[in-house]
């Protein structure tokens, strides 16, 4: 009776509320993913494509060696410039996943070659709104270029860009893991936001 009538009346507002919640969650998810990327770009924006500190420098050298000599020689490589004065048997003392991933990305970029993709008009239409949000103080609202360009990168540049790329992926996968555990979309979006700003 009366409850069925109330349910029918509330159907449309309930659906509008659901759409608004999904839009808010989507905007936050995209914003957090961009924040994860942008925060990890600070050293590159300040200093350029430069490897900092000691472990990243060794990882870069190992990646260069792998790119130049291949996997077989990489696993047999004895590096006399590390662990002075003894040297280091790299093949048995390294987790090579990062180096192999960087070289795979480098090889794939060489095979694909330079690409130019024109930004779709509906996405470009959002540009004034994004600019307005940036003027309001939303620091992590991205600018939308008219053309996306992808050019092959050097091994050094790929090694510098791996923290922003994989920091963003790690944030998104943390959200997926949170959703798998909790079945809560809100918890998943919040987990992405937390992972995005955690210092590495």
pLDDT digits (tens, 9 = 90+) for 62-71: 999 999 999 9
Give the per-residue pLDDT at 1: 56
The whole-number pLDDT of residue 2 equals: 59
pLDDT in tens, 170-181: 999 999 999 999
pLDDT of residue 72: 94
Please enumerate in sequence order all residues whose Cβ is within 8 A of that of 65, keeping only pairs 6 or more positions apart, or say none: 73, 74, 77, 79, 90
Quick count: other Cβ atoms within 10 Å of Cβ 180? 9
Give CA–CA dist 158/104, Å, rounded: 10
Q: Residue 158: exposed, middle, or buried by beta-carbon count in 10 A (0-12, 13-18, 19+)?
A: buried
**Global pTM value:** 0.82
Q: What is the DSSP letter of 120?
A: P
Which segments in the chain show pLDDT lower than 50? none
Q: How far apart are the first and last CA of the chain?
A: 58
What pLDDT does 134 receive? 87
According to the model, what pLDDT value does residue 54 have?
76
User: What is the pLDDT at residue 158?
Assistant: 95
pLDDT at position 48 is 92
pLDDT at 3: 62
Q: What is the C-alpha to C-alpha distance for residues 85 and 39, in angstroms, rounded to an integer?
A: 38
């Amino acid at each position: 009776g009366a409850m069925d009538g109330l349910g029918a009346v509330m159907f449309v507002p309930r659906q509008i509320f659901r759409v608004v919640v999904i839009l808010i969650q989507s905007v936050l998810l995209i914003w957090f993913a961009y924040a994860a990327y942008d925060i990890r770009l600070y050293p590159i924006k300040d200093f350029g494509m430069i490897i900092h500190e000691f472990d990243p420098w060794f990882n870069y050298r190992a990646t260069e060696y792998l790119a130049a000599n291949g996997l077989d020689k990489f696993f047999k490589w004895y590096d006399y410039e590390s662990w002075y004065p003894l040297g280091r048997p790299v093949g048995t003392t390294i987790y090579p996943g990062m180096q192999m991933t960087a070289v795979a990305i480098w090889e794939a970029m060489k095979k694909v070659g330079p690409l130019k993709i024109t930004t779709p008009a509906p996405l470009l239409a959002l540009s004034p709104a994004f600019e307005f949000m940036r003027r309001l103080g939303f620091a992590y609202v991205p600018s939308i270029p008219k053309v996306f360009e992808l050019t092959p990168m050097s091994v050094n540049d790929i090694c510098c860009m791996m923290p922003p790329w994989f920091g963003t992926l790690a944030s998104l996968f943390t959200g997926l893991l949170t959703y798998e555990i909790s079945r809560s979309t809100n918890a998943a979006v919040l987990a992405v936001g937390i992972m995005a700003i955690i210092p590495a």
